[in-house]
A and B are shown apart, each in its own frame.
Chain A
Amino acid sequence: MRDDEVPQEGNATLGGQRKAVYARAADGRLHLVSSAGWEVEEIVTRQAVDEFHKLAEAARQRVLAGTSVALEYHMYRARMDIPLLAQATGIWQWRVRRHLRPAVFARLTARLRARYATALGITPAQLEQLP
């Protein structure tokens, strides 16, 4: 990649920040050049972000339909899935899965709820409802 090939088209997912990338100067030497972003990166980053949005939205619909609990929505909002939430809380995956059932969640102790809330970076009150 030559200096003038360094992508500067802007990548919205960088939030206005710029990255340093290596490119070849006129004398053939590689050096760091500031890049405003590459569309390719934006596409693949957006893809991952959108996937979590989609999962969170589907979870929201399930919560509204009464077949799941807000915990599932908050999990996807925090860009986690069940294995990751299980690791972050130290709760077995099968238990996490079980806790997503409204009847089971309703009986959860305050301590368990607090564990979920902490892992997701929200308060226990937020955990119980959709925003």
Chain B
Amino acid sequence: MSPEFVHRQASHCESGAISGLLAHHGLPLSEAMVFGLSSALSFAYLPIVKINGLPLVAYRMPPKFIIKGLQKPLRLKMRFETFRDPASGERRLNELLAAGEVVGMQTSVFWLPYIPEDLRFHFNAHNVLACGRDPASGDYRLSDPVVESLVSCPAPDLLRARFAKGVLAPKGLLYYPVSKPQAPDWAKVLPAAMRKTTRIMLDSPLPIVGIGGMRWLAKAFDRLDGEREAAHARMFIGQVVRMQEEIGTGGAGFRFIYAAFLQEVADRLARPAFGELAEQLIDIGDEWREFALATARMIRGRDPLVPARLGERLRTLAGREAAFFRDLRRAL
């Protein structure tokens, strides 16, 4: 039987979940290290993927990217299981829990009763760990990385959340390590992970990913009509900030996590240059926060609704991030 699972609150669900799983299996790595090592930082503007009629904007790589990206550097074998029907998905989860396993799950946010009512939207790429079940009530004991402490969740609700349909449907996904994670050769894996991030941000062949994606989004802002289609413009810019600040941890949040990662890199490799790069990225994160603030003021009508002005801010951010990632590349 494995030892008691220790819950720690994190800033982002997937990096928090996997960091918790690794610690449980004897390799304590911070959330920031997990995030950086899997090259999870990104930016993507997906005008075709619509959520409630508004486009998807992501500030990190797609779900499961972190978990999958850690397998190679940590020589870790993860097992992923999805299910066609909910009943077998539930049975399998109970089996694993009975065997003492702590199990990662992908869920919808909407059906989880412990999430505050106002935050429950149909967002399907949330990550939660199941670490036990109350024998009397059948409720699951969950470690939700973005919640302060362990929570319990009735079985029917969890089942719904695991088998929600729609964009990024989780299909009951369960994941857990089947081998012991090992501390890597840091001098090798860290530069490789950072190089990958610079490539994603700077060299993407798709105009919707990386720095190019920010500029593309800025163009979409320019096209919004703040006068004749004010309602739509407000929803659109609000969506960008919702995706930035609330789902997971936000655009600024991800920049801060990556900066924390760079600080750890500076220590592990005894290369103070990365500490200076972290400073630069913290500034960029602060600027993302100002962007969010400016947007909120327009939504509330405290400032006139001129989306192009936000587009201008986005272009500045794109320029600063481009410069940052070029500096990071040179430092490697």
Which residues of A approach B to under 8 Å, CB–CB?
1, 12-24, 28-32, 34, 38-41, 43-49, 51, 78-81, 83-84, 87-88, 90, 119, 121
Cβ-defined partner of B116 (8 Å) among A17, A30, A83: A17
Rounded to whole angstroms, the CA-CA distance of A22 and B250 in the bound complex is 11
Rounded to whole angstroms, the CA-CA distance of A46 and B146 in the bound complex is 20
Cβ-defined partner of A44 (8 Å) among B164, B242, B259: B242
5 pairs of residues in contact across A and B, judged by CB atoms under 8 Å: A1-B289, A12-B118, A79-B121, A83-B50, A83-B53
- Count, chain B residues at interface, CB 8 A: 54
Cβ-defined contact, A44 with B241, below 8 A: yes
Q: What residues of chain A lie closer than 8 Å to B278, measured between beta carbons?
A: 30
Least CB distance, B122 to chain A, in whole angstroms: 6
Q: What residues of chain B lie closer than 8 Å to A30, measured between beta carbons?
A: 32, 256, 259-260, 263, 278, 282
Cβ-defined contact, A20 with B282, below 8 A: no
Cβ-defined contact, B116 with A40, below 8 A: no
Which residues of B approach A to under 8 Å, CB–CB?
9-11, 31-32, 50, 52-53, 110-111, 116-122, 146-148, 160, 164-167, 169, 234-235, 238-239, 241-242, 245-246, 249, 252-253, 256-257, 259-260, 263, 278-279, 282, 285-286, 289, 292-293, 295-296, 299-300
Q: What residues of chain B lie closer than 8 Å to A121, measured between beta carbons?
A: 111, 160
Cβ-defined contact, A1 with B282, below 8 A: yes
Q: What residues of chain B lie closer than 8 Å to A39, measured between beta carbons?
A: 296
Rounded to whole angstroms, the CA-CA distance of A47 and B253 in the bound complex is 21
Q: What residues of chain A lie closer than 8 Å to B260, measured between beta carbons?
A: 22, 30-31
Q: What residues of chain B lie closer than 8 Å to A22, measured between beta carbons?
A: 11, 32, 253, 256-257, 259-260
Cβ-defined contact, A43 with B299, below 8 A: yes
Cβ-defined contact, A32 with B9, below 8 A: yes
Residue among A16, A18, A19, A30 facing the most chain B CB atoms (10 A cut-off): A30
Least CB distance, A24 to chain B, in whole angstroms: 6
- Given A13-B118, A14-B119, A45-B118, check contact A51 B235 (CB 8 Å): yes
Cβ-defined contact, A21 with B256, below 8 A: yes
Cβ-defined partner of A40 (8 Å) among B31, B256, B293: B293
Q: What residues of chain A lie closer than 8 Å to B111, measured between beta carbons?
A: 121
Q: What residues of chain A lie closer than 8 Å to B263, measured between beta carbons?
A: 29-30
Cβ-defined partner of B246 (8 Å) among A18, A23, A29, A44: A44
Cβ-defined partner of B292 (8 Å) among A16, A40, A119: A40
Q: What residues of chain B lie closer than 8 Å to A43, measured between beta carbons?
A: 238, 296, 299-300
Cβ-defined contact, B249 with A21, below 8 A: yes
Cβ-defined partner of A32 (8 Å) among B11, B167, B279, B295: B11
Cβ-defined contact, A45 with B259, below 8 A: no
Q: What residues of chain B lie closer than 8 Å to A84, measured between beta carbons?
A: 52, 122, 166
Cβ-defined contact, B147 with A17, below 8 A: yes
- Given A1-B285, A44-B241, A45-B246, check contact A14 B166 (CB 8 Å): no
